[in-house]
Amino acid sequence: MLRELSIKNFAIIDDLSISFEKGLTILTGETGAGKSIIINAVNLILGSRASPDLIRTSEDTAELEAMFEIPSEGPAARAARSHGFDVSEGLLVRRVIQRNGRHKVYINGRMATTQILSGINGQLASIAGQHAHQSLLRPEHHLLLLDQFGDLSELRGTVCGSYQETLPLIKRQTELKRQLAERSEHRELLEFQCREIQQAQISAGEDEKLEQERQRLMHAERLYETVGRCLDRLYGERGAVIEELGGIGKDMQGVCRIDQAMSPVVSRLEDASFELEDIANEMRGYLKEIVFDRDRLEIVEVRLDTIRKLKRKYGGSIESVLAHGRAAEEELNGVSALPEEIAETERRLAGLHNELTSLCRELSEKRRKAAVRLAKRVQQEVESLGMSKTRFEVRFKSVPVGDDADPHLVLDNSGIEAMGIDRVEFLIAPNVGEDLRPLAQIASGGELSRIILALKAILATKESVETLVFDEVDAGIGGGVAEMVGDKLKSLAGFHQVVCITHLPQIARFGKHHFKIAKRVYRGRTSTTITPLYGEVRVKEMARMLAGVKITKKAMDHAREMIAGRCQ
């Protein structure tokens, strides 16, 4: 609910503040007094585009501020909280319009964007008029209104849930098929690589061992001769190293018998003798293992050539060859599993498609029945508002099916969306002989306001919007019809805060609160004022609306009767 509205340096408004209450608030005043300016200000608070042309002459900025009291669990509160705003103490919206075009938006003292503002305030208030900031004019909103009227919001939510569950599965299936197509082309290569690496049966470090063996086989004769010769010099021939070392040891033992200080040296000579014996034994063993085998050399070289080829193809080392083989095998296993995964996804999609299409059919059938009832109700309501013979129709269209539409989102040649298979638009012919036209194309602001008033009255207990503003609801009517419009506004105010700008006393009499908007000239500047009306001051304003410039006693008495009669 709108609690406070402050306007500063906006058009001809200098500095103006209005406090609003529950129920029906009436705004009256002479033509040109600034009533439409207040509507423009509310439009901007709700998120419409701002223009520097709206700034009061000689001023650099205009400021608009509104305080809303909102239900803690309402859609506006949820929208505000989703953007991080605490609305426990209300929602304060401030817009600053600057001549340089750098306009600013503040919500609860924090800077925001007009998109955020529209998303929140679109749930708070709506304006019905010739230049309406009004969701009722948008065909995309008509389906929601129809579902509200038919109590189909819960079923629509179930359809939406099923639709949202289907989308990721469709995306998954598409991705799996893409992978299958790509990998199928690659499958033969993967199979060849796996087979080639597996058949080679290579192992880590094998190339190094084979290279060592190859060197021994290639140089077996040289190795045998050299090691054998060294073994003879060490142990086998006369004057060999071990023999000489033994003689040295005996001589040094004689020294030790004279001087025990050389005992450690003798001990080390004995150790060296034993070590040389071990070395000689190892050399003899090595000579026995030397193989003179040209056939084995050829086998080793062939094996090394095989390993070298694999290393060149798959990364330069045996480790990279083995890693590539494992990766190729995993990818090949993945390709082999894709058909079954695709089939499983298709089975799940088929089940969801059956569920979704059944829900969509049910929702569409109920919508069409609700549309007949809604059209009848609207025609009855607008007839009571002075628009007899008006025709109203809810026209259904199927959701277009594109060439690339997924079959799981198609039902009977209609596409499936989150809202189902229907798109609707409200059409109306206000006058006899006219063709039905979209609601947004209604030329008369008064006709449009009354149609919106009728829809609001029908949806009064179902809508979540808190504040309704009606501008030009009285255009082209008078007398008894104006009485009906006023009474309808009063009834609607039992469910919403209603603000109505009117020129007709027959409507103004129903207001629980009444403000007069007027112009005044002060120090050569025109400005707009707004004044709450009570008692005789209100009677006088009503009398002015009845009689014009010259207010007679009869007009005053009539005005008193009208105000008194509103409570009866």
pLDDT in the model for residue 513: 94
Strand partners, 66: 5, 93
> Distance between CA atoms of 323 and 194, rounded to whole angstroms?
11
Closest to 496 measured CA to CA, from 126, 152, 169: 126
296 and 275 in a common domain: yes
The answer to whether residue 4 sits within a structural domain is: yes
Q: What is the pLDDT of residue 515?
A: 93
228 burial class (0-12, 13-18, 19+ CB within 10 angstroms)?
middle
Q: Residues 455, 456, 457, 462: what is their CA dihedral angle, to the nearest 10 degrees?
A: 110
Say whether 336 sits in a helix, a strand or coil. Answer: helix
Residue 433 C-beta-side C-alpha neighbours within 13 Å: 0
pLDDT at residue 445, rounded to an integer: 64
Range of the domain at 542: 534-568
Dmax (CA) of the chain = 160
| 11 and 93 housed in the same domain | yes
Statement to judge: residues 328 and 186 lie in one domain? yes
- Say if residue 112 is in the same domain as residue 235: no
d(CA 244, CA 246): 5
pLDDT score, position 394? 94
Indicate whether 186 and 297 sit together in one domain: yes
CB 12 within 8 A of CB 527: yes
Q: Is residue 461 part of a domain?
A: yes
CA triple 475-480-486, angle to 5 deg: 65
Dihedrals phi, psi of 530, to nearest 5 degrees: -135, 135
Does residue 303 share a domain with residue 232?
yes
Give the pLDDT confidence score for residue 444 in this predicted structure. Answer: 65
SS3 call for 123: coil
Domain end residue (candidates: 334, 351, 377): 334
Per-residue confidence in pLDDT tens, the chain, 568 aa: 899 999 999 988 888 899 999 999 999 988 777 788 888 888 888 888 888 888 998 889 999 999 998 888 777 888 888 888 888 888 999 999 999 888 899 999 999 988 888 888 777 777 765 444 456 777 888 998 899 899 998 999 999 999 999 999 999 888 888 877 777 667 777 778 888 888 888 888 888 888 888 888 888 889 888 888 898 888 877 778 888 888 888 888 888 888 888 889 888 988 888 888 899 898 888 888 888 888 888 888 899 998 899 988 888 888 988 888 888 878 777 666 777 888 888 999 999 999 999 999 999 999 999 999 999 999 998 888 878 888 999 999 999 998 888 899 999 889 999 999 999 999 998 888 889 988 877 756 667 777 878 888 888 777 666 788 887 777 777 777 888 888 888 988 888 889 999 889 999 999 999 999 988 887 778 888 899 999 999 999 999 988 877 888 898 999 898 888 765 4
Regarding whether 500 and 539 lie in a shared domain, the answer is no
- Please check whether residues 67 and 10 belong to one and the same domain: yes
CATH number, position 43: 3.40.50.300
Looking at 492, 508, 525, which one is the last position of a domain? 525
Is 402 domain-assigned?
no
Asked which of 276, 308, 334 is the last residue of a domain, the reply is 334
Q: Helices (DSSP H) in 290-422: which residue ranges?
A: 294-314, 318-384
DSSP class per residue in 466-501: -EEEEESTTTT--HHHHHHHHHHHHHHTTTSEEEEE
Same domain, 10 and 90: yes
Q: Are residues 188 and 301 in the same domain?
A: yes
Please, where are the H alpha helices in 201-317? 206-218, 220-231, 241-258, 263-289, 294-314
Assign 58 to helix, strand or coil.
coil
Residue-level pLDDT at 19? 92
User: What is the number of domains present in the chain?
Assistant: 3
398 domain-assigned: no
Residue 224 in domain: yes
> Would 175 be classed as within a structural domain?
no
Is the CB of residue 56 less than 8 Å from the CB of residue 14?
A: yes
Residues 6+ apart with CB under 8 A from 507: 26, 473, 474, 482, 485, 486, 489, 500
**291 inside domain:** yes
In whole angstroms, give the CA distance from residue 195 to residue 329: 9
Say yes or no: 121 and 194 in one domain.
no
Is 538 among the domain residues? Answer: yes
Q: Do 260 and 190 reside in the same domain of the chain?
A: yes
